[in-house]
A and B are shown apart, each in its own frame.
Chain A
């Protein structure tokens, strides 16, 4: 079965692969670009997320009130402007970082990704937006929360928010 990511019992699945996962309970359906819009109707009652680094695409899906935006940057991304951020806040969309998917084997690009990650978190803090960070290594997740300036309790709250919604 081809899934994008698995965290505990939660499967992150691209919407087109949904039929393969019919039996699984905890699913988050992923949408990549605007061409996926025709699939969206089918999944509107489920947990949904956009995975894209393009502000235009993110803006498009934000208006559809998906639940999460995942890794909304890339090594070449241009960053966020205030308008997209206010859309995210207004539509109660939660940013989510899947850490394992941000590690790449190219030092220059890697550094750019991390710079974008730090800038993005800075904006989230400014607008008091909780950020869910997921990783297969819980120590690394906690360490990153600390590095980004969150304390243990905040980290726990952000993560428990995600787990509750799923159960």
Chain B
């Protein structure tokens, strides 16, 4: 018997794979730098994650596997005095 495979629309597939974070006063370079510093040195290689801006320049898109690292990294960057305000995120930690 043929197995029916449900295919999600591309936009939904993308949404599941990636995590979006909408920030204000964002210094993406700084966050990226800190991300590599904290987790590149401790755990991952630099090529292990992709983090890029989409559409508007204050929206971060990141592979879901690294979302906790990103949230922690934003906390760290803020603690060091950078002005970042998270406006919206595509999912809560509970739903990850």
Residues of A within 8 A of B (CB): 99-100, 103, 105, 107, 111, 114-115, 118, 135, 137, 139-140, 142-144, 146-147, 152
Contact = CB atoms under 8 A, between A and B. Distances in A.
Interface string B43-81: 000000000000000000000000111011011101110
A115 B37 CA distance: 12
Given A103-B80, A146-B68, A137 B41 contact: no
Nearest to A114: B42
A143 B75 CA distance: 10
A147 B69 contact: yes
Interface residues of B, number: 18
Contact of A143 (B37, B68, B79): B68
Contacts of B76: 103
Contacts of A114: 38, 42
Nearest to B71: A143
B11 interface: no
Nearest to B67: A143
Given A103-B80, A105-B80, A140 B75 contact: yes
Interface of B: 37-38, 41-42, 67-69, 71-72, 74-76, 78-80, 93-94, 96
B72 A144 contact: yes
Contacts, number: 45
A103 to B, nearest CB: 4
7 contacts: A103-B80, A111-B38, A111-B41, A118-B42, A143-B75, A144-B72, A146-B68
A137 B68 contact: no
A144 B37 CA distance: 16
B94 A152 contact: yes
Contacts of A152: 93-94
B46 to A, nearest CB: 15
Contacts of B96: 146
Nearest to B96: A146
